[in-house]
Chain A
Amino acid sequence: MSASSKVFKDGLWYNNPIFVQVLGICSTLAVTNNLRNTLIMVLGVTFATSMGSLTLSALRELIPRKVRMIVQVLVLSFYVIIIDIVLRAYAPTISKQLGPYVGLIITNCILMGRAEAFAASNPPGLAFLDGLANGFGYGWVLLVIAVIREFLGFGSLFGFKIVGDGFTPWTIMVMAPSAFFLVAIALWIANNYKAKAEAAKKGAAAPAGAPGAPAPQKS
């Protein structure tokens, strides 16, 4: 398995930011009751993670260890400001709806986590791919959750009404608690699936991201 395809598989499944690393569920959960906003946030996070990883990996020899954290935050916030300005210019209504959550991409733990765990010790190209893969791995889970929440909460997808007037919207799906429940259920399904896959190939080498394992240490 080549390094780049391994990075991609890790990001999308074996070391998925949500299922395995349990990172970054902070700010973006708040927007998952609406598919369009979720898509924008996911694209924003993917952009910031991949470009941030690329930059930090390219600079990794130059950054003194002591101030590494603050340099990481500054580089990441640079990209988030770009996202914010672009959104304000081309999608002012979405920018208003997202409110503070665009700025909060800066403190999304996935960004810092990847910068620290991967970009700090890998070449720029691979770090960029890793950021991209983690962004997508994070994105598909959130999009699934957003589809469920918007469909049950409003009876629509991307703002288009899908079901007729006979449908009673589940108010709980619009509110905060449902996001926690749905992430927990998604985590449960993923863990069970993983446990089964592991049991199926018992005796073979353990998969890269065993549940509960700390931040990945890849060469």
Chain B
Amino acid sequence: MTDAPNVGLLSLFLASILTSNILLANFLGTCSFISISKDFKSSMGLGIAVTLVIGITAAVCWVVLRYIIEPLGIEYLSFIIFIIVIAGVVQMLEMIIDRFSPALYMALGIFLPLITVNCAVLGVILFMQIRKYNFPQAVIFGFGSGAGWWLAIMLLASIRRKLDSNNAIPAGLKGTGITLITIGFMAMAFVGFSGMIAVQ
């Protein structure tokens, strides 16, 4: 694990929010993105929950990868192990939030189980494994990707508030169709950032 890529933490953080946004550049987490972004408040809740979960699981999975999977040479089982870790972290987080902040639990509770099967979480962890990040990089990459997802869903939810009441949209394109086109335009805008930071 000495061959970690040589990138600064700040540029990695900004890159994972803007230039290689987990949703707009890598298409991860689109399913829940489209269905939840109908509602502004739920988007906020899910965004926070996803950011927390990705950040924490990235840290936990890095430790698991480094100290359990690699020494035992069981890389072929890594998908199953990561999935179990994600499910475990989500469950723990649910219990902790329920115990310490029932109000927050009421707001986030329904989203937490959904996150286990959100492809963005597993995607970030697999990217982390392939790119051989070291521990601080993994944590920053995790939180940055989550924040990027959060930013994207908030932007889309704000646009959709205006969009869904617009009658000029052709009937066949209403709902998912126009949402996808909007996401496409957002992706184009985010591609515009790519000259700023070049971290892959």
A-B contact count (CB 8 A): 130
B179's nearest neighbour on chain A, judged by CB, is A184
Best-buried of A25, A104, A180 by chain B (most CB within 10 Å): A180
**Of A23, A81, A103, A184, the contact of B177 (CB 8 Å cutoff):** A184
Determine whether B95 belongs to the interface, using a CB cutoff of 8 Å to chain A: no
Best-buried of B31, B34, B121, B181 by chain A (most CB within 10 Å): B31
Residues of A within 8 A of B (CB): 22-27, 29-30, 69-70, 73-74, 77-78, 80-81, 84-85, 99-100, 103-104, 106-109, 112, 172, 175-181, 183-184, 187-189, 191-192, 195, 211-212
Chain B at the A interface: mostly helix, strand, loop or mixed?
Answer: helix
In the bound assembly, the distance between CA atoms of A106 and B118 in angstroms comes to: 10
Report B25-74 residues with CB < 8 Å from chain A CB: 25-31, 34-35
Partner-contacting stretch, out of B99-107, B143-151, B166-174: B166-174
**Of B116, B126, B173, B180, the contact of A104 (CB 8 Å cutoff):** B126
Determine whether B117 belongs to the interface, using a CB cutoff of 8 Å to chain A: yes
> In the complex, are the beta carbons of B173 and A100 less than 8 A apart?
no
In the bound assembly, the distance between CA atoms of A187 and B178 in angstroms comes to: 10
A73-B83, A81-B76, A81-B79 known, 7 other contacts, Cβ within 8 Å: A26-B29, A30-B26, A70-B84, A107-B122, A179-B184, A184-B178, A188-B173
Q: What is the interface size of chain B, counting residues whose CB is below 8 A from a CB of the partner?
A: 45
Given A77-B80, A192-B172: A25 in contact with B27 (beta carbons within 8 A): yes
Given A104-B122, A188-B170, A191-B177: A81 in contact with B184 (beta carbons within 8 A): no
